[in-house]
């Protein structure tokens, strides 16, 4: 079965960057993505677990239901970034709603 995109926005910045010109309701879009309980989430951070620097709500979703599966250093030209692959925790089965 082919994978379906979790959002209609092509780039993470459209959803997560408050300076984006896309006028996205970030909370609603993240809620819709995590309501689908994606098995894997890939994030790019400056240090392990720094999800709040991307967006605080993203950090709450990830800490509530995901565990780190693997970590990769970004390409040679920019070693200050890490790519983390997080996996939905099997014990939870689905992503709980984060606290406000």
Rounded to an integer, the average pLDDT of 87-100 is: 62
Give the span between the Cα atoms of 37 and 21, in whole angstroms: 27
pLDDT tens digits, 30-73: 898 899 898 999 888 888 888 888 889 999 999 999 999 999 88
Q: Is 26 exposed, middle or buried (0-12, 13-18, 19+ CB in 10 A)?
A: middle
Question: Mean pLDDT of all residues in the chain?
Answer: 79
pLDDT, position 95: 44
Higher pLDDT, 24 or 19: 24
């Amino acid at each position: 079965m082919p994978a379906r995109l979790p959002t209609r926005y092509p780039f993470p910045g459209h959803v997560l960057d408050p300076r984006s010109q896309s006028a996205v309701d970030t909370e609603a879009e993240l809620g819709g993505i995590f309501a689908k309980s994606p098995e894997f989430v890939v994030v790019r951070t400056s240090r392990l677990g720094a999800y709040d620097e991307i967006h605080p709500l993203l950090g709450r979703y990830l800490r509530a239901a995901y565990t780190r599966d693997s970590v990769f250093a970004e390409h040679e030209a920019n070693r200050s970034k890490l790519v983390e692959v997080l996996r939905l925790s099997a014990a939870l089965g689905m992503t709980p709603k984060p606290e406000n």
